[in-house]
Structure 1
């Protein structure tokens, strides 16, 4: 199978390139032409230099990559550039795995869904946390009725403002927002899957820049979501980890049901200690590679547990929550999702 990787902008692109490179049944071609107009970051190359470091094939332009006729592509560009690349892929008949969020406007998301539907290609959104063993166990407990009716969910997606290697993350013109755009989608997507058909109806959110007053975007936020089945959820989407913290972040969820409460940590498979030589804490993950599970599902279909990637419509539903959150934060009022 021939797979194209469109852009190295997103931090996950490095993981995707490495994993695809080592798959025996995959031919990989990468391209990152948008990097040419961005400032170089010492120690954080992009474009052909990064491709050479990773040992992967490289094309100079998106057109050159599509002339290679890929079967599928992964869009790992800046958020506001997703639409153009998804449309290009659809017109060339390639299935698409698009980084989250699917888009930054509802018009772009709808256009992406329609062009893929019209071309008869698959559109999936890259949400790796669905493949965490702890989430799979919690999902099974909910689906089997062991928790009873889900009354409330508390979710938190901690992280940090990671704009040293990728400055576009805090550039509203390329990211479409800040912490609310970046981190709400992870929990919102899990809720979309967990609640199995329930739809978000109302959103209330507050955001601020207290964690980094000089940032161009919000760096912290709390989003409250109500669903049409009576479930209520809160999402802490803040970039609240210190820049020197040994871990980038985490996804934590507490699910409160009529019969039981379940708590999970999506990235809890860790060995932690202290690095005396460098005089700092040290954390080493082990266990399931969520990106690998995500790629295998995209390329070969869902595993035996039935967990699949969200499609374009699911991506649209999570985006509606994000955009309603921005409207609520702007007006300091509850926002209805139509």
Structure 2
């Protein structure tokens, strides 16, 4: 049995990951540690596991790996504790709120000899995997451009606190798509320009919408709509889409459109029936396998830095009104 714990239930993804852990027969869900005792105890009760009043107590209980789902700015201290305890780490995205913290997270894990994996569950969507195979096969021919979106609900809470989150919608949603760009083409981003809107939709004191343009070192040009533009009544969380314009034609991919839609005046509402895979489960199963088989993580700390740097470059470009060259430092 692989012993896994969760450090912090601050992030909304923590519940999904906990649910996944409970589904895996080869996992012992050791417990949940949270500095917010009421939140942590409630989560532990919900998922039938033990609550630990401190992160140190959970790590001392003997875990093979941990999932870090704290506020973004708190990733570094929690990873530091986990690495010192010899536990492999699955760190929620973004890896950090700045490049220095991200690099330090990578250094700590490398020097401690523990595995570091970044939580990008979108990689585990069947539609994404199919698109990756098409890109890798060369059947699309030369790739000219990419148009992508990641538009979701406004999460509220600490996600709108710039100190804890590192930004708003741009840092929250840019990283998902840019990780796919990195995974598909393994090409550095050379230039970024962005227009970022603050308080356009939600009046929360942070950015809630952005349009990013980017150019890769291999010549591919891309645009990304990254926003919290879905109303709270929207029937699903949001979207992750990617259109690829290539020599062989146009390919369109949508992660979440595995639905049947029914429109009825009698019901007075739209009915959406969904089916398909659970990318979160794919992510957690892969992390558990990384821990138990001692193989290298498929999504590395460097992958996390790649995606973070584009988000930070977008903020810099929007603030200056100019194209930003990468690398930033």
TM-score category, normalised to shorter length: over 0.9
Distance 1:10 1:252 in 2: 23
| CA spacing shift, 1:35–1:278, aligned 2, 3 Å | farther
Q: After superposition, where does 1:128-167 map in structure 2 within 5 Å?
A: 128-163=121-156, 167=157
Q: Counterparts of 2:129 and 2:118 in 1: how far apart (Å)?
A: 18
Specify which of 314, 317, 323 is matched with residue 334 of structure 1.
323
Q: Is the 8 A contact 1:73 1:97 kept in 2?
A: yes
Distance 1:80 1:190, change over 3 A: same
Q: Matches of 1:137 and 1:208 in 2, distance apart? A: 33
Structure 2: gaps spanning 5 or more residues: 292-296
Shift of 1:21: 1.8
The answer for unaligned runs of 5 or more in structure 1 is: 37-44, 303-307
SS in 1 for 2:44: helix
Query: In the alignment, is residue 206 of structure 1 matched against residue 195 of structure 2?
Result: yes
TM-score normalised per structure 1 = 0.91
TM-score (norm 2): 0.93
**Match of residue 70, structure 1, among 55, 63, 75:** 63
Once the two structures are superposed, residues 180-208 of structure 1 have per-residue CA deviations (whole angstroms, 9 ceiling, x without a partner) of 0100001000000011x211011001111
Give CA-to-partner distance per residue, 1:274-301, whole Å, 9 cap, x none. Answer: 6889843333331111011011111115
Give the aligned partner of residue 81 of structure 2.
Answer: 88
- The question of 1:127 aligning with 2:128 is answered no
1:289 equivalent to 2:290? Answer: no
**Which residue in 2 is equivalent to 1:3?**
4
**Is the contact made by 2:5 and 2:65 (CA closer than 8 Å) also made in structure 1?**
yes
Measured against aligned partners, the alpha-carbon deviations of 1:50-97 in whole angstroms (never above 9, x if no partner) come to: 221222222111011001111011001111111111111111111110
For 1:40, the equivalent position in structure 2 comes to none
Q: Equivalences for 1:1-338 in 2 at 5 Å? A: 1-36=2-37, 46-163=39-156, 167-195=157-185, 197-209=186-198, 211-212=200-201, 214-273=203-262, 279-301=268-290, 309-338=298-327
> 2: distance between equivalents of 1:213 and 1:312?
32
Going from structure 1 to structure 2, the CA distance change for 1:147 and 1:2 (only over 3 Å counts) comes to same
RMSD (Å) for aligned C-alpha atoms = 2.0
Residues 217-247 of structure 1 show CA distances to partners (whole Å, capped at 9, x for unaligned) of: 1110011111110011111001111111111
Q: Which structure has the highest strand share of the two?
A: 2
What is the deviation of 1:106?
0.6
Q: How much does 1:249 deviate?
A: 0.5
Number of aligned residue pairs: give it: 322
Map of 1:42 onto structure 2: none
SS of the counterpart of 1:147?
coil
CA distance change for structure 1 residues 301 and 88 in 2, over 3 Å: closer, same or farther? closer
Residue 49 of structure 1: CA displacement?
1.6
2: CA distance, partners of 1:327 / 1:220: 15
Looking at structure 2, the residues matched to 46 and 77 of structure 1 have their Cα atoms a distance apart, in angstroms, of: 12
